[in-house]
Chains A and B, each alone.
Chain A
C-alpha cells in the first residue's frame, strides 16, 4: 500500500471548509440584503471598487474564492461517488480543473479592479 497524495487535495478542502463555515453565511446575508432591495453600504459601487483597489483585499478575496470553490468541488466529487458515479478520476479532474479555472477568472478580474 503506497501512501496516498490525497492530502494535496484534502488540505485545501479542510481549510476551505473552515473558512466557509466562518465566513459564507454572513457574506450570503449581505448579498441577500442586496437581493431584497436593501444593499449594505459596502456593496455600493464607489465603496466596493475603492476597497477593490487594495492589494490586500484582492489577495484576501482570491483566497476566499479559491478555497470556497475548492472545498465545494471536493465535496461534490465525494458526493458523486456516494451517488454511484464510479468514474472518480474523471470527476476529480473535471471538478478540480474547473475550480482552478474559475479561480483564475476571479484573479483576472481582481487584478483589473
Chain B
C-alpha cells in the first residue's frame, strides 16, 4: 500500500471563494465601526464631564468631514449587523409549538418590529423626531 495523502494548503483567499464568505467578513468587520463609534462616544463622555466648552469642542469634532464619513459608514455597518443578527436569531432560538415550529420570519419579524419601536422611542425621546 503506497499511501501518501496530500494536504492542500490553507490560505486567506478562502474569503473570496464565494460571496457568502465575503458577506461574512463584512458582517464581522462591522465590529470595527460599532466598536470605533462606541470609543468615540467614550471620548464624548469625557468631554461632557469636562464642561460645556469641552462638549462644544466635541460637537465641533463630530462636524468634521472625517467624522461625517465615519458616521455614514458606521450607520451602514451597524444596520448590517442588526439585519444579520435578527435574521440568524430564529436559527439559534427555535420555538416549537406542538408539532410545528414558529416560522423563521415570525421570529425575525418580531425582532424587526421591536427594533422599529425602540428606535422610534429613542428618536422621539431624543428630540430628533
- Contact between chains at A22 and B38 (CB < 8 Å): no
Binary CB contact string for chain B from 5 to 43 against chain A (1 if under 8 A, 0 otherwise) = 000000110010000000001001111101101111110
| A45 in contact with B52 (CB, 8 Å) | yes
Q: Which residues of B contact A18 (CB under 8 A)?
A: 85
Q: Are B39 and A25 within 8 A (Cβ)?
A: no
Q: Contact at B71–A65, with CB atoms within 8 Å? A: no
Q: Report the nearest A residue to B42, measured CB to CB.
A: A106
Is the beta-carbon distance between B42 and A105 smaller than 8 angstroms? yes
Q: How many interface residues does B have (CB within 8 Å)?
A: 51
User: In the bound complex, do residue B127 and residue A42 qualify as a contact, i.e. CB atoms below 8 Å apart?
Assistant: yes
Residues of A within 8 A of B63 (CB): 34-37
List of B residues within 8 angstroms of A100 by Cβ? none
Q: What 0/1 readout, one digit per residue, does chain A (83-110) give for beta carbons within 8 Å of chain B? A: 1100000000000000000100110011
- The docked-state distance in angstroms from the alpha carbon of A13 to that of B82 is 14
Query: Which residues of B have CB within 8 Å of A25?
Result: 75, 78-79, 82, 119
Residue picked from A45, A61, A106, most chain B C-beta under 10 Å: A45
Q: Are B126 and A40 in contact (CB under 8 A)?
A: yes
Contact check, A69 vs B59: say whether CB atoms are below 8 A apart.
no
A20 to B39 alpha-carbon distance, docked (Å): 14
A43 to B40, CA, bound (A): 14
CB contacts under 8 Å to B, within A47-101, are 47-49, 52, 61, 65, 68-69, 71-73, 75-76, 78-79, 82-84
Min CB–CB distance A97 → chain B (angstroms): 14
- The answer to whether A45 touches B56 (Cβ under 8 A) is yes
Is B95 positioned at the interface, with any CB of A under 8 Å from its CB?
Answer: no
The 4 A-B residue pairs with the shortest CB-CB distance, nearest first, are A41-B127, A72-B35, A75-B31, A40-B128
